Amino acid sequence: MTEQDTAGQNAGRRESGGLPATGRLVDSHPLLARLTGQVVWNLAEEAGADDDECGLFMDHYAAWREAALAVLERLRDAPGGGLRLVVDGGDRADACPECVALHGVVLAGTHPDLAAWLPPFSIGCHCRAEYVEPAEMAVAGQHLPSAGLQPPAHRLCCPHRPLSLLLAQLAQSQGR
């Protein structure tokens, strides 16, 4: 690859960890890029959900997806910021050990492998990202994962929280 090819390839990117400066942010997320509405609906059906439960799950999924993408949008639009990986206190008992180990990790938006560390790592994942302002990044800097810690694989369903369990939790929260 020539220097000109590399420059052209990087022209559509910002100094925000390789997130695209234009286009769909969902395409830069290793899991969310693979999840169409039809895939999510089919997963819910395969987990035993009826049409009403599938609809409830789709609403949950849409809100969850939009929250994840809103954080990426802020990161893309404010170079110099970062991401804090968080598992809320109430969720830690139910979260998988891989995600709990990531709690508190802060990555600069320019981290070279940012996409690999982007939660959610599966449907129903308890780990999420919070945007860290550039001023906080300048003062506190990164809090990198401990040596040897790898990001969880981005997969459709978490083995610690199967989709059938998530569906039951959603139904219970709706009084069903």
Per-residue model confidence (pLDDT) at position 71 = 92
Q: Are 132 and 84 in contact (CB under 8 A)?
A: yes
Q: Average pLDDT in the 78-97 region?
A: 86
Q: Count up the domains in the chain and report the number.
A: 1
Least confident interval from 22-26, 65-69, 124-128:
22-26
Is 15 inside a domain boundary? no
Q: Decide: helix, strand or coil at residue 93.
A: coil
Would residue 104 count as lying in a domain?
yes
pLDDT score of 67? 93
Q: Is residue 12 part of a domain?
A: no
- Let me know if residue 3 belongs to a domain: no
pLDDT digits (tens, 9 = 90+) for 147-164: 888 899 999 888 888 888
The answer to whether residue 9 sits within a structural domain is: no
CA dist., res. 57 & res. 36, Å (int): 13
Locus of tokens 């492998």: 113
Q: Does some domain include residue 4? A: no
- Could you tell me if residue 16 is inside a domain? no
Chain position carrying tokens 């991401």: 83
Coil, strand, or helix at residue 166?
Answer: helix
Rounded to an integer, the average pLDDT of 75-94 is: 86
Summarize pLDDT for 122-148 with one digit per residue, the tens.
988 889 999 999 999 999 888 888 888
Q: For the residues 79-89, what does the mean pLDDT come to?
A: 89
Residue 13 has pLDDT above 50, yes or no: no
Domain span at residue 146 reads 24-173
In a domain, residue 153? The reply is yes
Of the pLDDT bands very low, low, confident and very high (cuts 50, 70, 90), residue 105 is very high
Say how far apart CA 172 and CA 176 lie, in whole Å.
5
Average pLDDT, the chain: 83
Say which amino acid occupies 146: S
Share of the chain above pLDDT 70, in %: 86
